[in-house]
């Protein structure tokens, strides 16, 4: 008799039947053949009677719903598509029964997998709750900041270090008349990793604020980028561009920005036009004077 039949008898008679595993009932289809639920709350056989049934499925479903181990996919024949593979569902069933030893053993395998997943999720959720409570006890504004940048860690020591850097950078920015911005990549990297230093970041933000507020920096950047692309086309080089890495292309764009910045800096160091120049530029002037 199937496990589901033994469960029914046990409920009806109040007796105990050897080999009955009632904890597996919720993982089996209502057809009572000990077939595991795969999709739509049904086993594959019952689902196959529905309109729109698909006899093949993706690797993700094979892994999550059938319980196929990652190392076993190299031995399973699949249909290759452009961005994914499809596997025959009957083949997956036979593979799992052979791997586990029986249909009921396959159900046990799925049940254990589900229990491990739920336990892991509960553990992660508990750690998240503890981390959220801990973060609220740190520097004022820090919790709101890391939520805004979608940064969350559960290690308390790491969070405390991030909070300390948040305090340092916020103080440096306010001293120079700036507020911490959630869209600043430089600030995010410093606070979350410790890369860089606070005063250098503030100098950079001071410089960029001056460039966008008092100069035609944005227009010059656009012009330099257009010139770069035109030069590539004239040299019949644009086709090669597609073989460059995105990192290399970003570096060339940054070169265009740096060129515009250098031009403007030289102009304003020659004639400040009555404006207070960024501290970074004044420091450069001092170094040039000393040399």
Yes or no: say if 54 and 92 are a contact pair by the CB < 8 Å rule.
no
Say how far apart CA 103 and CA 76 lie, in whole Å: 19
Q: What is the C-alpha separation between 33 and 250, in angstroms, rounded?
A: 59
pLDDT per position in the chain (291 positions), as tens?
Answer: 565 555 555 555 655 655 667 677 888 888 878 899 999 999 999 999 999 999 999 999 999 999 999 999 999 999 988 788 999 999 999 999 999 999 999 999 999 999 999 999 999 999 989 988 999 999 999 999 999 999 988 889 999 999 999 999 999 999 999 999 999 999 999 999 999 999 999 999 999 999 999 999 999 999 999 988 887 676 554 444 444 457 777 888 899 999 999 999 999 999 999 999 999 998 887 666 655
- CA–CA distance, 87 with 55 (Å, rounded to integer): 8
pLDDT value of residue 30: 86
Place of tokens 């770069």: 228
Supply φ then ψ for residue 98, to 5 degrees.
-65, -40
> What are the sequence ranges of the domains in the chain?
3-115, 137-290
Q: Nearest-CA neighbor of 135 among 123, 151, 122?
A: 151
Q: At what angle do helices 198-214 and 217-234 cross, to 10 degrees?
A: 90
Q: Whole-angstrom Cα distance, residue 18 to residue 21?
A: 9
Q: Are the C-beta atoms of 43 and 33 separated by less than 8 Å?
A: yes
Judged by DSSP in three states, 72 sits in helix
In the block, which residue shows the tokens 């001071």?
206
Q: Measure the CA–CA gap between 207 and 281, rounded to whole angstroms.
A: 8
Q: Which of the 8 DSSP states describes residue 88?
A: E
How far is CA 2 from its chain centroid?
44
* Sign of CA pseudo-dihedral 26, 31, 35, 36: negative
- For 58, which DSSP code? E
Query: What is the reported pLDDT for 99?
Result: 95
Contacting residues for 39 by C-beta, under 8 A, at least 6 apart: 47, 57, 61, 65
The predicted pLDDT at position 234 comes to: 65
Q: Would you state the pLDDT for residue 10? A: 57
Phi, psi for 265 (deg, rounded to 5): -60, -45
Query: pTM of the prediction?
Result: 0.62
> How far is it, in rounded angstroms, from Cα 47 to Cα 96?
18
pLDDT of residue 230: 82
pLDDT at position 21 is 72
């Amino acid at each position: 008799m199937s496990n589901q039949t033994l469960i029914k008898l046990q409920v009806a008679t109040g007796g105990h039947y050897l080999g009955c595993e009632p904890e597996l009932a919720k993982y089996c289809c209502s057809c009572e053949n000990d077939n595991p639920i795969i999709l739509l709350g049904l086993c594959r056989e019952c689902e196959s009677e529905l309109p729109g049934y698909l006899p093949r499925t993706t690797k993700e479903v094979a892994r999550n719903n059938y319980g196929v181990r990652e190392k076993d996919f190299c031995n399973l024949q699949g249909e290759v598509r452009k961005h994914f593979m499809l596997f025959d569902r009957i083949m997956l069933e036979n593979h799992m029964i052979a791997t586990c030893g029986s249909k009921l053993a396959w159900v046990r395998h799925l049940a254990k997998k589900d229990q491990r997943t739920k336990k892991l999720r509960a553990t992660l959720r508990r750690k998240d709750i503890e981390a959220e409570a801990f973060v609220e006890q740190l520097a004022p504004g820090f919790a709101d900041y890391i939520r805004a940048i979608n940064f969350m860690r559960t290690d308390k020591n790491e969070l405390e270090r991030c909070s300390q850097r948040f305090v340092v950078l916020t103080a440096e920015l306010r001293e120079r008349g700036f507020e911490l911005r959630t869209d600043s990549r430089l600030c995010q990297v410093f606070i979350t990793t410790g890369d860089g230093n606070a005063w250098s970041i503030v100098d950079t933000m001071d410089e960029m604020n001056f460039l966008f507020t008092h100069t035609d920096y944005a227009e010059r950047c656009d012009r330099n980028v257009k010139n770069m692309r035109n030069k590539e086309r004239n040299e019949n080089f644009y086709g090669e561009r597609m073989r460059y890495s995105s990192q290399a292309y970003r570096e060339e764009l940054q070169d265009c920005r740096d060129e515009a910045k250098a031009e403007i800096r030289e102009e304003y160091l020659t004639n400040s036009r009555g404006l207070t120049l960024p501290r970074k530029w004044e420091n450069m002037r001092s170094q040039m004077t000393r040399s």
